[in-house]
């Protein structure tokens, strides 16, 4: 069904059609408004031939399918007997279930972007004369030069950035960037450039799966003189609408692109691609001064209406009226100004004639403006504690603000009493009242203060295994740090699988975006505190994976600095990220190990180390002579050639003793360190083992010192690794070959994981190869025999001797059951050593440290980590043998990290 047309419309769903199409005769007969295309489109038929007639119009219709409502854009042309075609555009957006046997389309409970029963925005009849103001096609026209063009002035005496290198792209990305360039050239928004400072560009994936081109203007922004035009204050804007009774809200289409780059400054916006260098004629996303330039333009064109019927924050326009009968005229006046200035609104984000509107994150109604609810939501939704530890966590959080609350001790006394030694936990009505009153006091003045844009903001963030927490603060008149707002937010399914570093970074990104109205474009930098040291370097990283590139783009307009602060000093955001009421969110069932944590096994990793090394070799002047001499060493005299015997040039890389030489590049070396230490396959090993793992493939001068510093400062290692001293053990006879002498033991009383609560650890005393087998603590000797046959015997056969910390009785029962199951005559029994040599104890401690490093906060996903732990253990060089367990038992070491 199409809105405004009574009868259902026969529609062809065609996955072979890249776009949606509407028949021209059908459109004319039903008086459907057509929007002319600025650039007519060519149609290619299925046989590859170009059709003679080009598409000159399009139309946007509200279409209802199976109870779901879609706002669909159609290209209009002659379709013959077909009225409507839904192509790949719609299929990708709606993602329906298709039954290929019955050829039926449905959505069996699957969530999609459209919402059932919810009408999409339409233009009210009163404003149909301004339909052109909502045109996507007209927006594509190049705006004219105006007095508020964007100029890019560099700091006097600053050095221009070096030209960026072209990032390698996948075939899909190459096609997409070619389409982008062709379309932007056709629309006149970019042009070819000879700029000497072209910035790098790459793609990030949007939420809908499509690709967005990102230009990294950091080096340009670093030498750009900041535009000091003041951004409007939130409190001043909302104060101007306090007497209004009705509202409408407009959102400009691609606000920044409505402004031209000042003539002569276009070369400073240049970006480099495999298809050439291009520069923007319109203001792109990512420039330092873009928010201020856009705000200046909006203030200028709406000057006579500001504070009267309009408030504007960048590309958000709020129209308000004290009398409902005047509102239509007020909206028309704004639409007229937009038309006169060739500015276009995005209909899907507009609202008309509403009594409640969200503007700058605030809920505005005729009854008043509510801003406190969101600011204190994280605190007020804190669920009642269920045990003493949760009471202690809550008190630890509110104690930071006790100095601001009169009679705090009296109010919170029932809670403090619960934490006394030998006190039975009993949550009474008195405790609940104290809990609610304490939350209320912490969320009011004088604790919570209003933001002051003239003072610096402090942002404290933390991420736990279940949620992120953050507190935004400023110093009050009393000199103390007061909270402005709180944030606590649980992860979605994808975020729950991020590793620790990405969760900590997510906390920063989400907090800045959440408090955008306070923190975007601040003159004074926002100080961000995190307990993850490596994030201090994130803003200035040379390269990003796709997720980080998207985050960096989203934060381009924020002025912030990341500082490390140890976790023990971050109790406030810690408490918000560890609220127990976030724990009830179940983890999704997964069959495979999460890709983020398993990335060491991927050949096509997001950070392409080899490509980065190739590109950076020419930047390291210390390697120039070495590379040139290595390339032509065969032509050198023997006395000189000898100096380069250990070097080789192949695959466009410099090799030293069979290892790739790494140029002087902090980002590449850091990526290699993280890959060979933080990666689960590497396993957070110590200094010597991390160095050995890296040295198998890479080389650079002073590598040992850098590895040692990196491992020493690893917070996960400091938290996870034990320092237990072992008692001297009696030496056992030295085995002569793999798997003829084994040791086995159990790690017990673990949190239940996939129905298991213990680990059977079996070790070959000759090679030190180990197998880690999940089991139950209640498993008896017969059950252990079953596990042994299933996991050990099938691979290695029967051992000659066994060692176990469980003692001779259990071992005897185990062997007896094993022989019975295998049909072996007991007289050929395996010998048992009553002593142990400590090998399983050391291995157990190593395994416990590994699991602490990588398991979730509940420590209940350890079963899925055992295969990775086993590979990591068997892949490390043993100090006694000088070889890996793989080498000792199989004569080779398989690749784990590429």
CATH of the domain at 189: 3.30.70.270
Same domain, 325 and 392: no
Question: What helix, strand, coil percent values describe the chain, rounded to 5?
Answer: 40, 20, 40
Kindly state the average pLDDT of the residues 730-738: 76
Same domain, 353 and 236: yes
The structure tokens 């289409």 sit at 253
Query: Can you tell me whether residue 322 is helix, strand or coil?
Result: coil
Per-residue model confidence as pLDDT tens digits over 442-458: 666 555 676 777 789 99
Per-residue model confidence as pLDDT tens digits over 803-832: 776 666 677 788 888 888 877 654 444 554
Q: Prior bond to 513 cis, omega within 30?
A: no
Q: Where is the domain boundary, 344, 370, 396?
A: 370
| Cα separation, 444 vs 447, whole angstroms | 6
Per-residue pLDDT at 834 exceeds 50: no
Q: How many CA atoms lie within 13 A of 809 on its CB side?
A: 1
The structure tokens 């259902």 sit at 8
Domain assignment of residue 838, yes or no: yes
Q: Are the C-beta atoms of 663 and 620 separated by less than 8 Å?
A: yes
Q: What percent of the chain has pLDDT over 90?
A: 18
Please report, for the domain that includes residue 69, its CATH number: 2.40.70.10
Same domain, 336 and 385: no
Give the least confident one: 97-106, 156-165, 481-490, 794-803.
97-106
Domain assignment of residue 593, yes or no: no
End-to-end alpha carbon distance in the chain: 54
Q: Which domain holds residue 357?
A: 171-370
CA proximity to 22, closest of 86, 65, 67: 86
The number of folded domains in the chain is 6
Same domain, 288 and 334: yes
Domain assignment of residue 846, yes or no: yes
Domain assignment of residue 616, yes or no: yes
Please report, for the domain that includes residue 577, its CATH number: 3.30.420.10
Reported as a pLDDT band with limits 50, 70 and 90, residue 296 is very high
Query: Can you tell me whether residue 497 is helix, strand or coil?
Result: helix
Same domain, 706 and 752: no
At residue 681, the pLDDT reads 66
Same domain, 308 and 351: yes
Same domain, 814 and 710: no
| Cα separation, 328 vs 316, whole angstroms | 18
At residue 277, the pLDDT reads 93
At residue 116, the pLDDT reads 32
Pairing of strands 741-747, 698-699: unpaired
Domain assignment of residue 3, yes or no: no
Q: Are the C-beta atoms of 875 and 578 separated by less than 8 Å?
A: no
Same domain, 621 and 653: yes
Q: Where is the domain boundary, 347, 370, 393?
A: 370
| Cα separation, 558 vs 519, whole angstroms | 7
Same domain, 239 and 328: yes
Q: Are the C-beta atoms of 543 and 667 separated by less than 8 Å?
A: yes
Per-residue model confidence as pLDDT tens digits over 36-85: 776 777 776 655 556 667 888 888 888 877 667 777 888 898 887 788 88
Mean pLDDT of the chain: 78
Catalytic machinery residues:
14
At residue 606, the pLDDT reads 36
Q: Where is the domain boundary, 381, 413, 442?
A: 442
Q: Which of 183-192, 610-619, 803-812 has the highest mean pLDDT?
A: 183-192
Same domain, 662 and 799: no
Per-residue pLDDT at 281 exceeds 80: yes
Same domain, 365 and 377: no
Kindly state the average pLDDT of the residues 773-781: 90
Domain assignment of residue 423, yes or no: yes
Domain assignment of residue 686, yes or no: no
At residue 408, the pLDDT reads 63
Same domain, 305 and 233: yes
Domain assignment of residue 132, yes or no: no
At residue 165, the pLDDT reads 74
Please report, for the domain that includes residue 431, its CATH number: 3.30.70
Give the C-alpha distances (Å, rounded to integers) separating 765 from 30, 504, 762, 843, 860.
Answer: 84, 41, 10, 12, 30
């Amino acid at each position: 069904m199409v809105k405004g047309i009574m009868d259902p419309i026969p529609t062809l769903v065609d996955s072979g059609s890249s776009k949606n199409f509407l028949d021209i005769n059908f459109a004319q007969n039903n008086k459907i408004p057509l929007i002319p295309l600025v650039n007519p489109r060519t149609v290619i038929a299925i046989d590859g031939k170009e059709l003679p007639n080009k598409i000159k119009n399009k139309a946007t219709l509200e279409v209802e399918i199976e109870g779901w409502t879609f706002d669909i854009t159609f290209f209009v042309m002659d379709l013959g007997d077909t009225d409507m075609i839904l192509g790949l555009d719609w299929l990708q957006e709606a993602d329906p279930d298709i039954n290929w046997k019955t050829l039926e389309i449905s959505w069996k409970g699957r969530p999609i972007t459209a919402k059932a029963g919810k009408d999409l925005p339409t233009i009210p009849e009163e404003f149909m004369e301004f339909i052109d103001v909502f045109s996507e096609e007209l927006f594509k026209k190049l705006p004219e030069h105006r007095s508020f063009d964007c100029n890019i002035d560099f700091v006097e005496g600053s050095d221009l950035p070096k030209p960026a290198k072209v990032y390698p792209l996948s075939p899909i990305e190459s096609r997409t960037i070619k389409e982008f360039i062709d379309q932007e050239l056709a629309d006149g928004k970019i042009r070819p450039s000879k700029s000497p400072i072209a910035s790098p560009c790459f793609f990030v994936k949007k939420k809908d799966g499509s690709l967005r081109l990102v230009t990294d203007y950091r080096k340009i922004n670093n030498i750009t003189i900041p535009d000091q035009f003041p951004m409007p204050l939130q409190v001043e804007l909302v104060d101007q609408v306090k007497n209004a009774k009705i509202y409408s809200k407009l959102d400009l289409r691609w606000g920044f692109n409505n402004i031209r780059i000042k003539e002569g400054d276009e070369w400073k916006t240049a970006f480099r691609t495999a298809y050439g260098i291009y520069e923007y004629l319109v203001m792109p996303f990512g420039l330092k001064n873009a928010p201020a330039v856009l705000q200046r333009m909006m203030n200028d064109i709406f000057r006579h209406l500001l504070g009267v019927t309009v408030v504007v924050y960048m590309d958000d326009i709020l129209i308000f009226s004290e009398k409902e009968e005047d509102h239509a005229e007020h909206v028309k006046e704004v639409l007229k100004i937009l038309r006169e200035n060739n500015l276009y609104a995005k209909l899907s984000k507009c609202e008309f004639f509403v009594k409640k509107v969200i503007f700058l994150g605030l809920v505005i109604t005729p009854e008043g403006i509510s801003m406190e609810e969101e600011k204190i939501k994280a605190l007020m939704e804190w669920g009642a504690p269920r045990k003493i530890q949760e009471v202690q966590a809550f008190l630890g959080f509110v104690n930071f603000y006790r100095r601001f609350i009169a009679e705090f001790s009296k109010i919170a006394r029932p809670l403090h009493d619960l934490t006394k030694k030998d006190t039975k936990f009993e949550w009474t009505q008195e405790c609940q009242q104290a809990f609610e009153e304490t939350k209320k006091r912490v969320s009011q003045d004088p604790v919570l203060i209003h933001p002051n844009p003239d003072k610096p903001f402090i942002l404290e963030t933390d991420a736990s295994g279940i949620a992120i927490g953050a507190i935004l603060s400023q110093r009050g008149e009393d000199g103390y740090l007061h909270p402005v707002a709180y944030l606590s937010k649980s992860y979605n399914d994808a975020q729950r699988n991020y590793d620790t570093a990405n969760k900590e970074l997510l906390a920063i990104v989400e907090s800045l975006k959440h408090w955008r109205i306070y923190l975007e474009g601040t003159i004074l930098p926002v100080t961000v505190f995190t307990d993850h040291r490596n994030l201090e370097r994130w803003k200035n990283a040379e390269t990003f994976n796709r997720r980080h590139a998207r985050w960096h783009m989203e934060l381009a307009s924020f002025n912030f600095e990341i500082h490390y602060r140890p976790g023990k000093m971050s109790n406030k955001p810690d408490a918000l990220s560890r609220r127990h009421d976030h724990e009830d969110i179940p983890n999704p069932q997964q069959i495979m190990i999460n890709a983020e944590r398993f990335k060491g096994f991927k050949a096509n990793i997001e950070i392409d180390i080899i490509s980065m090394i190739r590109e950076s070799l020419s930047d390291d002047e210390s390697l120039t002579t070495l590379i040139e001499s290595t390339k032509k060493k065969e032509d050198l005299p023997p006395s000189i050639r000898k100096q380069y015997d250990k070097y080789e040039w192949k695959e466009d890389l410099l090799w030293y003793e069979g290892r790739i030489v790494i140029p002087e590049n902090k980002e590449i070396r850091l990526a290699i360190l993280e890959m060979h230490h933080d990666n689960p396959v590497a396993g957070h090993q110590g200094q010597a083992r991390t160095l050995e793992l890296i040295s198998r493939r890479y080389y650079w001068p002073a590598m040992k010192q850098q590895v040692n510093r990196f491992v020493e400062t690893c917070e996960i290692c400091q938290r996870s690794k034990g320092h237990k001293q072992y008692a001297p053990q009696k030496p056992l006879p030295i085995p002569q070959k793999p798997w003829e002498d084994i040791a086995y033991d159990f790690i017990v009383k673990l949190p239940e994981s996939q129905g298991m609560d213990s680990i059977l650890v079996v070790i070959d005393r000759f090679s030190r190869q180990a197998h880690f087998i999940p089991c139950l603590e209640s498993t008896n000797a017969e059950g252990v025999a079953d596990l042994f046959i299933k996991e050990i015997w099938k691979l290695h056969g029967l051992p000659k001797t066994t060692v176990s910390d469980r003692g001779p009785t259990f071992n005897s029962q185990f062997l007896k059951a094993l022989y019975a199951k295998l049909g072996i005559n007991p007289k050929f029994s395996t010998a048992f050593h009553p002593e142990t040599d400590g090998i399983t104890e050391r291995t157990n401690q190593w395994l416990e440290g590994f699991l602490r490093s990588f398991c979730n906060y509940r420590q209940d996903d350890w079963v899925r980590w055992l295969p990775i732990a086993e590979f990591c253990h068997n892949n490390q060089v043993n100090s006694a043998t000088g070889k890996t367990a793989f080498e000792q038992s199989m004569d080779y070491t398989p690749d784990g990290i590429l």
